[in-house]
Each structure stands twice: as structure tokens, then as C-alpha cells.
Structure 1
Amino acid sequence: MAWLWSTGPGIIAMFSVVAVVAALLMLPLGALAATTRGGKSSCTTICGGINIPYPFGVEPGCYHDGGFNLTCDHSCTPPKLFLGDGTVQVLDIDLQNATVRIDSKTTGVDTDKDGNITLHVGSQQGSGAGAGEGPYFVAEGRNNLVTIGCDVQVVLVGENGTLVSSCAPFCLDDEGVAMIDVPVCSGVLCCQAPILIGRASYGLQFHRLGNQSSSIIYPTSIVESDYSINMKYFYSNLTVPALLGWAISSSVCHTNGSSHSCRSKHSFCRNNTKPFEFGSTSIHGQNCGCSGGYQGNPYISHGCYDINECDYPDIYPCYGDCKNTPGGYDCQCPRGFKGNASKAKGCEDIDECKHPEAYPCYGICINMPGTFHCQCQDGTYGDPLIKQGCISVTARKTFTGLYIGLIVSGGSVILLLALAAPFLTRKIKLHRENKLKKRLFKQNHGLLLQQLISQKTDFGERMIIPLLDLQKATNNFDRTREAGGGGHGVVYKGILDLLVVAIKKSKIVVQREIDDFINEVAILSQINHRNVVKLIGCCLETEVPLLVYEFISNGTLDHHLHVEGPISLSWVERIRIVLEVSRALSYLHSAASMPIYHRDIKSSNILLDDNWTAKVADIGASRYIPIDQSGVTTAVQGTMGYLDPEYYYTGRLTDKSDVFSFGVLLVELLTRKKPFLYRSGGDGVGLVSHFVSLLAEDNLDEIIDHQVTEEGNGEVKEVATLAAMCIQLKGEDRPTMREVEMKLENLRINNINLATNIAARTYRGQAGTQYMPTEGAIVETSRQYTMEEEILLSASYPR
């Protein structure tokens, strides 16, 4: 790829040449092309009439790292494009074939002190890169070794001295060398041999032949195979092309044909192979191409676009009706023809008259190109395309009278239908709605509720709510009535029988969601506890079942706990809330008719009413557990941060899974930090792990909420210890919810007794009767209460 001269005596002259291209340094695509390259819109996309597609580029940030930078020399007219910093001129860039055509005359040649010649093609001299650096290599099978001289053999060798190519030009005689007019390079004065093995570097050896004094070496170069060498103009040509290959990455493609370098949706990865090496195939690296039926730049997003094959009939022949499709095209014979439309004269006319079953004609059929003509026989008229459509002319008068009669009678029928249409439409609509309601009622497990009605008549009568009532309550589910989103969908606020209710409507119509709704109905229908959200009823007359709850107006515990500023819920309120939650869970686990595990205890599922009473919500994820079983294997469901790790890894749900989630809730109330967001500053561990380690180091002050530290006194350590017991990794090491409830009850009683003693000391010695509140000593346990008991207990708690 260079012009080399060598003269002088000697038997054999040998030179070492390191040529072409660097090691294949490949990095992932770091920029996009055109207006998306590196977020720039100033990338040069053309220089001297040569398009510059990504991964190539001129400005920093516009090209892929690893040797794809180019230089546009505007001092020339027109401008010239060069590899790297401007050493080797670029003549063309071909993305599809992954090649770069260069001018081999512009390649750099250096000679060291030992006489070794180094050839730089595609290197970036002057920019800190040495010879042979870059993603380029000689395109195998597409270049020739060309030597001009006399009586010399030129040998091109690989890295290990492997013979790659060789040729030897000769002259007819010593006197006529300069006078021979050789039109082509065929051995006399000029020889050429194909280079079948692509390399990043080569060695050149020159061996003098015959009369050594006559051995002359003129220019030696690597020239593109398709370039026709005319000796008469070879010296004077402005450019001599050579073809380089390049690879976007030195790694091979993934087994499924994908690569991170291939950015376009419709692109694929292909290994850049070099054949002919001892019958084997080695790989330079990888490149990208657009999938079949697409063209463009596979190295950028949306770079490959669909080819409209119908616009290129010379490449994609179609002699019928052509229709473009994504990645291909459809070619069909025109209507009335059959055959192969992709071939010339491949479509032949269909004789419709021979196929009356497909092309009915009850008269005289006449075939025509692409169609047929059907007419009535002589003496008849009418429509020959329908049976008995042709009638005789003699029957015309009779037919006319009949026709008039039909028109009159038909008009009367139409008038009657028009008058009765609104009534009939309304009746049909009501019939369809009732039929649909019955079908949806059965589909939504309405038979289950019918069984409940037969067992508990009072329950059934209040549970089933007509759809019409809910539409009135929500103004036909108006968006202004939306009160938020639940675990399964949208929650609407409405007024039903002078009672404010929350109506939950699912967004997703899948059977699993419907099953969860029915599961929630079955569970909540058996729950009667002051600390569990009360189910008012349900409606199964819609495609998505609707659940109606009591409306809890004061938001969630999460909303009130995680407020901006240093002050949140008081320590007394926090203790009371977790005590009420523990009562609800203890009731679900042990006091309900069948054990119920919630599976998703978290602060956002704890609602607070106007009196700040805690209500456990979102029971849709709960599961019944048979009394004779300690657990059941289920699909894991819950919220990360609160989820029991034992349940997460084994899928076995037990009552201790809710205990773990409750323990995380205690940690959240102590620290006022969200479990699913918190990461410690040191090693990035989660809230639970960090809390346990600080408790073991007796260094809880580092993470405890300052408000809790100020208000909690000695209770904080007790609650923290209880939380640590609940979040043990093994479920068997955790207490039951009943035990947790009793510990919190004892803690609250101690607080009440302490407050009582303080009050007694305060009033001692003062005139009048000493006042000692006794209602605070009431201890509530998990059980079902009568309405009177609920009211009395609710009134006994301080707010």
C-alpha cells in the first residue's frame, strides 16, 4: 500500500514492513449519529462529497471510540477526508460491507536506522497512536499485491512468516526496459497477485532474480482488485484505491445473533470472518447489518428502516399487485387472475364461466380478461346474477302490478316498525342488560354469595348491592369522585343510604384479579373487628366486581408519619396505633372462624379514621389457612422491604410472615424511615439489617427518630427489642401476634399506671376528692364485640 523504491548491489535484499491497521480495539457504541451523536447537532455528515455515517465522525463525540475519527481538510478544493489526523485519504465508506476505500498513495512510509521500512495505513500518526492502531485491516480477497520493476520477487508474509502472496515482474532485455509500452499489468514490468488473507500487519520480502545488477524495484503497493491498472497512466493517476475492512467490536456475536453494538431495532450482529487461511475461517471481530427487508445504519437507534420493495421492481420483481409489508412485500395476481405474480407472465386469466360455484351466473356467461360478463337470455330481462332473476317480457305487466302491491304493503309495515321502534329498542336493551347481568353474576362467583345468603339471610340482604345504586352514589363513576387508588384499582367516594362509602373498582379485567376480589369478599364477610376496615357490600353485575367499604376519611399511617418537618405523630399515638394493628392481626390469626394471613402489612395499608383509630385495609391479598395446617405454599405476594425473607425464598406462608411485616412496621415507627427506600450511608444495607446491627451495638440513637427519643423515655428500648424479635430471619424464632399484642398491652398498662401515680402525687394534699382515671386500665384483647362494647371501648381511648 505504498510506493517503495530500493536499488543497490547484493544477492538478496530483505525488508520488514509493518502495514495496515491496528489491533481491533472495540468499545461499545458511545454516541449516536447525525443529530443524536453525543447529543450534538453540529456533527459533520459529508466532506468533499463523501458521506460520513456513524460510527465514523470528525468532531469529538460524533464518532465511536477505537479509531473511527476522521479529519476533513478544508484547505483543499474540494475538501478531502482522511483517516485519523489526516495521514491517509478516504475515498469512500461502505457501512453495508464494512469497508473503507482509501488512496494507497497517501499511506505513510518510515525507514529506521537498520533499513527496515514501516508502512502506515489507517494509523493516526501525530495523535499519539502508533503504526497499526485502529479497527482496520486489509479486506481479504479484494486487494492485490502490485509491484513494478524488473527481475525481482516480492513476497508478502504474515506475522509468523506465513506466505500470504507473491509475484515477480520481469523485463525482456536490459536495453528495452524503459522503451516497452506495457498496456496492462500482466508480468512484464508489472505483476500483481491476490491477497486472500486479511491482516492487521504484513512483512514484505524482496528477492533479486537473474542478473542481480539488473534487478530494479519501482513502486510496490496493495491495490483494490477491481481497479484496472493501465501502465500508461498508472504513474500519473491522482489516486490508487485500496480497500480496508473494519470491525465495530473485537468480540464475537452472541449466540442468538444480538450485540449491544447493533442499536437499531431491525438489525443483527454478524461475525467479520476472513476465509482461505489453511481451509479454516478466523474472525476479526463483529459488525452489524440491517435485517432482511430493511436498509440504513444499524449502529444507531431507528437507523434501519423498511425498504419499499414495490418501488424497486428491478430488484424485487412483481408483475401483479404489489403491497409493501414490514421487512418484505406481498405480490398477488390481479383480481380475476391466478398464478405466480413474481414471474413475468406468471398470472393467467381465470375463466369465471367454468366456475359457477364461485362466480354464479344464471344467464349467458361471457369470459373477459380479469372478469366476466353475465346477461339475461333473449326475451328476458332482470338480474342474471341471482337465481330466477331473469323474467320473461310477457310477465312484465303482472310483475309490475305485484311490485306496486309489495311497495304499498311494505310501506305500511315500515311505518308500523318506525312507530314501534323506540319501544322495541328499549325492551331489547333491557333484555340484553338483564341477560348480561345474569352472565356476569355467574362469572363473578355469584353462586358463592347465594350460598352465604342461604346461611345468613341478614348478611346476604345487605351484601348484594345493585349496580344502579352505586351509579347514583358516584354520579355514574365520575372522575371527580375518585378518592385514590387501592391495591387492585380505583377507589371512588360516594353516598349510599346516607352513609359515606368507598367503592373499589378494578382497572384490569383478568380472572386472577376477579378471583382476588371474590377472595376479599369471602374474607371480609367473616371479619367483625373495630380495627379492620368494614365491608359494606359488593356488586357482581359488572364485568369487574365492585366492593363497597366504610369510608375512612383521615388517610393512611404512611401519610401522617412521613410528613415534612421534624414533628410527626407523637410517641403515644404511635404506640396506640401499633397496639390496635396488633389486635387486628391477632384476631385474624387466632380469633376468626378460620385463620387469615394478611400478607401485605405496611404503613400505607393502615388507615386512620376521624378519631385516629387504626384500621387494617387491603385484605384482597389475604389467604385462608385450614385449621389443621400451619402454613400453605403460595405465589409470593407483598411489598419489598416489608416482605418476610423466609416466605420470599420458600413460598411457604405462615402466621410468622405477618409477624415479620409487623416488626418492620415497628422499626418504621421508631425510625420514621421508609423500609423500601432506606439505604445506610456506609455499606448501603437496608433498614431492617441496619436497625438490627445498631441494636446489637447499643447505638440505636443513630437511627431512632429524634421525636421518639424525646417522648419515648425507657419505652423505646423495649419496643426496639420487640421489633428485633419480630424480624428474626427464622419464623420459628419470632413470637406470635398474640404474644406481641400482650407485650404491647403490658407496655401501655405500665404507661397508664405511671400516669395514674403521677396524677395521684399531683393531687395529694389538695382539697377535694382525689381523681384517678380508671377507664385507662381497660385492656382490650382480640375478639368480636357487640355494638355496645365497640362504642364503650372506642370512647375509652385517649385521642
Structure 2
Amino acid sequence: MGHILVLVVAAWALLIQQQAAIAEEQHDELRPITLPGCPDKCGDISIPFPFGMIPGCFREGFDITCNHSFQPPRAFLAYREGSPIQATTFSFFSVNKTSGNYSLVDKANGPIPPVELIDISVAESDARAYGPVAFVCNTNATGGILMDTYTSMEFLVDSPEGPFLVSPVRNVLVGVGVEVQPSVSKFNTTGDRDDPLTSCSSTLNGDLQLASNGSCTGRGCCQASLPGTRPLTGVTVSMPPKTLVNNLWVTNPCSFAMVVQNSWYNFSTADLYGDTSNRFPRGVPYVIDFAIRNASCPAKGQQPPPGYACVSGNSSCADVTNGYICKCLEHYEGNPYIPNGCQGVIGGFFVMAALLFVILLRKEKKKMREFYEKNGGPLLEKANMIKIFKKEDLKEILKTRNLIGAGNFGEVYKVLLDNKLVAVKKPKTGKVEHNEQFANEVIIQSQVIHKNIVRLIGCCLEVDIPMLVYEFVTNGNLEDILHNNNAVPLNMDVRLSIASQSADGLAYMHSRTSNKILHGDVKPANILLDDNFMPKISDFGISRLIARDKEHAEYVIGDLSYMDPVYKETGLLTEKSDVYSFGVVILELISRKRSTYYNGNNILVSNFLEAHKEEKQLIELFDNEIADTSNLELLYSLAKIAVECLNLDVDQRPSMMDVAHRLLLLNRLRNL
């Protein structure tokens, strides 16, 4: 009987849903999206205010050109001097077949078209547009053509901060090729390449069978997140010419790279073969954030200023980067930028809907309980050191406004929880291996209390992949501090202190806990810094228990630019693997050069090991900011420790305890 009741309720619910959809569609036809008398369509694209196509129908900077020479017509951000553009630079190169080195022969600028829109979402305060694709192609065995792309969102000459920014959260850098290392840098109007904001690397080492469809982890396809530390008013995608090996230009002549909407591109091994320079003739979709710039929301009770954009009576204002956006209030939909634009959502058949809600709620609670038990909840209940958060506790945290970072592992949110700033890590996809092992790992990490290790506060188990709650560290990570364009000055004392205290944290994990903890992914991005530049080690232990998919679990986990070659070859993680990675971190601290992995070789490590044979050459690799006479002896000592950590003979590497002790002595001598 109960089963029949559920079927009846489900049938009624479907009927309600269909009727509500019809009513909502009719309502949408009457709901305005732009000002009275203004056109709201360009071909198949809706044009909501503040966008518009004729004078008086748009806010300044939001004007659209509807090009009727296409069928159907296409919408573009209005093109004039200083408006959003997408340009290309072609370079012809020649390759020395013996050495593999290349040289640029000629250079020419491509067309500078306006930005073509795909769609606009007022509710999400973003738009999608077609972006250009960079490529490098070999036209013969000794030469080829290279195209870099430039995308600028700087709208007005007199107001460089226009309404548009390239979204750092909803876009990623993707590179595809047999051997490719694309990078993204800040848009430069001169056409010169700035230091990269992010990059990725893909290599197959001559074995094309290593690539597999749907996998973008560095084997034929690579992916990197865009930095979210500052506004992106434009980006440049650069492609260095690849090395020619065994005449691969015949079957694999092209590689390409793009800034593209996250999850839009699905890698296919077919993209490694043939001429792919015109793989995307209109470009690829990427996401643009828009806002009312150079202004802010009025304070509570304050009269809105002239030109205030949130004019609907049922709208609210939210501050964002260099401006604000308008939203409809909860239970309202529509356009908050026009009068009466936000209207109530249609409802009906409340009794049946409530009954359906109760059924779904019971199913959801059952599902949450299954997740809780699968993720080791009963075992964790017995541990007093760890706090178990309910899914409801974290529901309001997982909002776009709280997102502070995203990467291959997942997303990170910053929020005030129980009157403490915390970082909540939400894995993207995957599964938890061995619930008891996961629970034990959580218990072990919750008991790790050290000033140089980020503390695990709690977790949420009522979801498929557990969310982890950590203490929040205020000053970002060491990678951003060292290498971003807005990197801050770091004197010798600060760098030595960062190295010494980071080593102490790792040594504590290896030797001073009841259960030895191996990190497995030591790198500057996983060394967080507080306001006083005191380092805290993060992202260790649990990440290895959460496999994104079966294929991912078969490979060693970590960043190739910092990975111990022995660990890469054997897949066996030891404390000496962390020692090797920490040696690379020391090199970055004293050189302020980014560790990069290319063609099976770590460039920074190779340069230091070669120069270490003759100390006179070492000084050329030190950061000029600290390479003065008073620091040279200390820099040579740090380089020596790093070189010992990088020894390919694992048994000859020092322990992390030894490294920490030596760095502590250097720090004390420095302060005498």
C-alpha cells in the first residue's frame, strides 16, 4: 500500500511540475528583461539590461553591437577604441634538428575582432563569450607557425577598469599536445610576455598510448586554475614551440591551448593527431564576470547614490571586486537592474508539493546517514579531538561569495564559523577508500598540534566526499608570495625563518608524532603564511585517501615540479620523498625562480646542481634582492643543504630532522 501511495504521489508531483512549468513559461513571456521600448534579442541571444543595443537602452560600458550580416545575427561587445578585444600574434619559427632549439623568424599581428557573446546571465552576473585558441604547428621537420592570443576586458580608455573581468573561478587553462607547456600571463598592450600567472605541462615522452580520453592530468592534456588573488582585466595565452622528436610533425604537427570555461573541454586523443589549428573556428567559451565598477553598495539605511543600479523594489546589492552587483531577493526572479524587474516565483498546489517535499526530505536524510556511515562517522564519534559538522552547518558556507580558491583537488571556502575564521575544503569528485582508514587518518591529523602545521578542526561526513574544515591562514601561500606579479619583498631573515620553521613542521610530522605522517606533496603552494610570515604546512595525509577516480589512483600523487624522481619511478612514498621536495622549496626561496618540469627534466634543479660544482656560478642563480655580500655565505649554506636533499641516492639524503636542526642553527647564528 505504501509503495502504491508513493507512485500516486510521484504521478501527481509530475503533473504539478508540468503545469507549473507551463505557467512559468507563460509568465516569463510577460516578464520584461530590459527597459520599455528597447530590443531584448540579438538573434538567439537575450540582451537584458544593463546591456543594450541602442542609445538609452544600456548603462555606460554595457553596449552591444548586433551584427545582422550573420544568420542568425550575432551579438558582440561594442567595438571602439579601448573596448574589449581579442587579438592574435603569429610568429614563424625554425628548429635546429640536432639541438632541438628554435628561433623566431618573423612576427605578424592577426586581426583584432570584438568579443562575441554566447549568452548573458543577470542572475549569475556573468556572460559567456567565444575566446581565441593559441596554437603551435610544425609545417615541416624544421619549422612552423606559432599563435599567441590576447584577450582584453579594459573597456574605456579613460576608465581602464571597465565592467568586465575574466572569471578566475569559472575558467581554466587547458593545453593539448604531445609535448606542450602553455602559460597565462596578464594582458599586455605592448604584446610582450609578462611573467606567467599560471601554467601547466603535458608530455608523453614518445609513448602516445599514455594518453587516454577524458584525462587531462599531464599526459597529452594538462590543466591549471587561474589565480584568484587579483582582478583579471585580460589574459594572454602563450605557447612555446614544442621539441620535434622522430618526425612527429607528420602525424602530430599541432598543439593548442586556451582559457576556457571549466569542465567544457573533454580531452580526446584524436586532438593529438593532424592539423588542429582550426579545431575551434569560432573559438571556445569562457566566462566573463560583470559588475557596476568603481562604486559600492550603500550602507544600511543610507540613501542610494545617483546612478544606483539596483532599481527593482525586490532587489539587493552585493559588493564584489572593485564594484557591486544586483540580485533579486529570495523567492523572486527577474532583472534587478530595471524597475519592477524582480517578481515573485509562481507556486501552486502547495499541499501536494509539501507532501512531495516530505518524501524527498526522508530520502535525503537516509542518503546523508548512508554517507555518514560510509565515511567512518561511527568511529569518529568516539574521538573527542575532532568536530563533526552537519551538512546543514556548512550549507551557507558553500556560496560563490565565500570561494577563495579552486584547483584539481577541489574548492576552498573562507568563512566565520563558531566565531573563528576557517577554510572549508570541498573535493570535486571521487570516492573515499576504506572508511576506517579515512576515519583513523582524520583522528591522527586532529591530534597534530604544531605552530607550523595547519590544524584540522573538523569534517562533514553527510556528503559523498567528506568536506574538511581547517584553521584559516591569513596571508595566502608561499607560491603566490614568491612568484605572483604582486609578490611582496622578502629579506634574507624572513626567507631563512620560513625555511627553518617549515622544516620544523615537516620534521614533527616525520619523527615527533605517535604515527609517522608523510606529506607527499611538499611545495610552496602548500606552505601557508600568516600575517607575520610564519609558515604552516597544509594539504597532507587525507588527500591521498580521496581518489578522484580509479585512473587517478593508479598514478603517484603530487606535482611533477617538486616530485622525488625515485617516488615517481617506484610509487613508494617515504619521508625522503618529502626531503627531496623540500630541497626544491629551498631553491625557490633563495632564487625566487619557479620550479618547472619540462621534457622529463626539472629546469631549476638542473641549473642549481650544475652550478653547485663551481660556486662562482651559483651566485648568478641567487635572487638579486638578497644576493649581497653580507648574505652570500648563508646562501651558499642553504644551497648546500638543498643539494644534499636532492641527492638521487635516497640513503644519502639527510633526514627532515637533520635539515630542520641545521636550518635552526643557521637562523640562530644569523640573529647573534
If the length of structure 1 is used for normalisation, what is the TM-score?
A: 0.38
Larger Rg, first or second structure (1 or 2): 1
* Larger relative contact order, structure 1 or 2 (CA cutoff 8 Å, min sep 6): 2
